[in-house]
Structure 1
């Protein structure tokens, strides 16, 4: 898994995603799924800078956040002084108490680039869930995303936060079509008086998935899909999966 979001990038990410994502709507989306499954305790993997944590905490959900970036957690903890956050890897962690639900947000599944990564993650989730608990996660749909980037070599996103104008130019290249692996290069700028000033570069190797792949991985790791949601986000066509923990054979 890549080293994600150092201190500078964490702050840029936090600023830009305040515009990209409607966190009130995002909270409502996940909270409705949790409520429908009678979940009282939740772990969020990919908790980032704590925008969902803030909302879960305000509504008295028993919440824990986990992220791979210490810089992200630092911002999240400053924003949510009463929420516990864990610096950890979704492939290998152990909670003190098992939870009713684990959600993986922000398409963080994209950083699971090998089959071993996926199987280790699902096994780890299974071990940290109560009996018949659920997982909820999103993933980028390869069938729609790969044709999109084939015809759109550069993808531009703009955001404004606290009177600063930001611009991100992204380029995607396929590196392994067998496992739908991609290299993502992004340049981040501020814009003032119509002039761009480069403030950071970002690079990641990521993976996108087909729905059939995800269905098979879940089956092999003792999860039963209860809901599949086709969901458009600010930039990507995604699926959201709700799956229930099953007893191991």
Structure 2
């Protein structure tokens, strides 16, 4: 798994996504799913710079954030002084106490590259949920995204935050048709007086999934899907899955 968003990339990510995502709406979306399933305790995997954490904390909910980037966690802690954030890998983590709900946000599922990554992630999630707990996550839909990426080899995103204009030039290359692996490269710029100034380069290996793949992975790791939501985001067509931990059968 790539060591994501380290150093200055964490701050650039934070600035651009303030424009890309309405975090109040994002909070309402996930919180409604949590409340619908009577969940009291929450772990967010891919908690990033703590934008959702801020909303959970403001509403006095029992929340923990987990992220693979120490730089992102540092920003999150500045934003949420009384919130609990832990550095960890979604493929292998252990909480002190199981929680009622686990969220994987921001399409962090894209960094589960191998089938082993997927199985160990869902396995760790299962172990850290209460007996009737749920997992909620989004993923990029391969059936729609791969044709889109082939037809749009260069993808542009622009954002403005705190008076600074940002510009991101992204390109995708499919490297494996077997597991729908893509190489993602991006250049980040600020725009001043009409001139672009490069501030960072980024590169990641990511994976997109079909709905059938996700359904099978969940089944194999002890989950049953209770809701599937077709959701569009600022850039990609995604599905959001709500799945419940299966009850152990007793004889």
Q: Could you tell me the TM-score, scaled by structure 2's length? A: 0.98
In structure 1, the residue matched to 2:46 is 46
Residue 248 of structure 1 deviates from its aligned partner by 4.8
- Change in 2 beyond 3 A, CA 1:172/1:247: same
Whole-angstrom distance in 2 between the partners of 1:174 and 1:92: 28
Whole-angstrom distance in 2 between the partners of 1:138 and 1:168: 23
Whole-angstrom distance in 1 between the partners of 2:6 and 2:226: 37
Structure 1 vs Structure 2 CA RMSD: 0.6
Residue 191 of structure 1 deviates from its aligned partner by 0.2
Give 3-state SS (helix, strand or coil) of 1:215's partner: helix
The 5 Å alignment of 1:106-117 reads 106-117=106-117
In structure 2, the residue matched to 1:10 is 10
Give 3-state SS (helix, strand or coil) of 2:212's partner: helix
Give 3-state SS (helix, strand or coil) of 2:53's partner: helix
In structure 2, the residue matched to 1:168 is 168
The 5 Å alignment of 1:1-249 reads 1-248=1-248
Give 3-state SS (helix, strand or coil) of 1:149's partner: helix
Q: Cα deviations across residues 94-128 of structure 1 (Å, max 9, x unaligned)? A: 00010000000000000000000000000000000
Give 3-state SS (helix, strand or coil) of 1:139's partner: strand
Q: Cα deviations across residues 210-241 of structure 1 (Å, max 9, x unaligned)? A: 00000000001110000000000000000000
Q: Cα deviations across residues 28-63 of structure 1 (Å, max 9, x unaligned)? A: 000000000001000000000000000000011100
Whole-angstrom distance in 2 between the partners of 1:142 and 1:236: 10
Residue 204 of structure 1 deviates from its aligned partner by 0.2
**Which aligned runs of 4 or more in structure 1 are off by greater than 3 angstroms?**
none
Residue 247 of structure 1 deviates from its aligned partner by 3.2
Whole-angstrom distance in 2 between the partners of 1:85 and 1:240: 24
Whole-angstrom distance in 2 between the partners of 1:222 and 1:83: 30
Give 3-state SS (helix, strand or coil) of 1:123's partner: helix
Whole-angstrom distance in 1 between the partners of 2:71 and 2:10: 6
Q: 5+ residue gaps in structure 2? A: none
Q: Contact 1:157 / 1:169 at 8 angstroms: preserved in 2?
A: yes
Whole-angstrom distance in 1 between the partners of 2:120 and 2:165: 40
Whole-angstrom distance in 2 between the partners of 1:197 and 1:153: 22
Q: Could you tell me the TM-score, scaled by structure 1's length? A: 0.99
Q: Cα deviations across residues 131-180 of structure 1 (Å, max 9, x unaligned)? A: 01000000000000000010000000000000000000000000000100
Whole-angstrom distance in 1 between the partners of 2:143 and 2:248: 31
